[in-house]
Amino acid sequence: MTMALTNAFVLLFSCVLAISFCVWGKPATFLDDFRITWSDSHIRQIDGGKAIQLVLDQNSGCGFASKSKYLFGRVSMKIKLIPGDSAGTVTAFYMNSDTDTVRDELDFEFLGNRSGQPYTVQTNIYAHGKGDREQRVNLWFDPSADFHTYTIMWNHHHIVFYVDDVPIRVYKNNEARNIPFPKFQPMGVYSTLWEADDWATRGGLEKIDWSKAPFLASYKDFDIEGCPVPGPASCASNTGNWWEGTTYQALNVMEARRYRWVRINHIIYDYCTDKSRYPVSPPECIAGI
């Protein structure tokens, strides 16, 4: 047996021994793990499907979704957002249980801007059907000039939204305090590009300029590592999954420092401090999430 075959056999055997299902990251092409859900004429495959462009014009936006749902794990994509005047557009990357009124959902929403203004990313979390947990951060770079990695880490301990390696939001599991936490419903991975000029830019004051269309958002390096559903029932509860390890149960020292930097310098809206909406702070805010 050659060394290559021996290594392959050892890896396969290790996967079989693991209670959890081995999930490979970074598929060879977009269509390996995803399907087009909305307006296939507006999604362009590039480099043999290793990258794609989402297109928004006056006829339609578009969207795609993972072929499977997942329960815990990490998902990430490299995205280059719409350049120039993107006011009124929303590029979304999110996870969703697709269960209507009791849905769980973890959102990145990139809100278009007028040229020269910071790009804003809005995050939101739905747990057991309850959302309205918006936070907004002004990005500290031009996300339309190059690709950047956007990641959602989801385990039994917390949910963390990352921009590159910088955590911009943490939602801790505080079920012990009767605060809902997404835990039971698997979620698919989605992305859409659409018009939302009634609210996306300066609360709807800045409208979309269709003379700048088509608007293009580019994607590559799709990476999903988690427990697929349907799949082995024991996967989601397996503490041996790498994303459940001690390293990933809380922010490390460097991540905590970066997180504080974002909170001090770049957050522009936090529902926890919006007394007009919440005269009494939501319980998860009081719990220090």
Domains (ranges, CATH) in the chain?
34-285 (2.60.120.200)
pTM: 0.90
Radius of gyration of the chain (CA): 20
Rounded CA-CA distance 127/158 in Å is 12
Q: Which of 96, 75, 251 is CA-nearest to residue 154?
A: 75
Between the alpha carbon of residue 289 and those of residues 9, 96, 107, 153, 170, the distances in Å are 44, 21, 17, 15, 7
Could you give the residue numbers annotated as active site?
Answer: 105, 109
Rounded CA-CA distance 209/211 in Å is 5
Q: Which residues of the chain have pLDDT under 50?
A: 1, 3-22, 24
Q: SS3 for 110?
A: strand
Q: Which residues pair with 125 in a beta bridge?
A: 106
Summarize pLDDT for 6-28 with one digit per residue, the tens.
Answer: 444 444 444 444 433 445 455 56
Summarize pLDDT for 194-215 with one digit per residue, the tens.
Answer: 999 899 888 888 899 999 999 9
**Token match 């993107």: residue?**
86
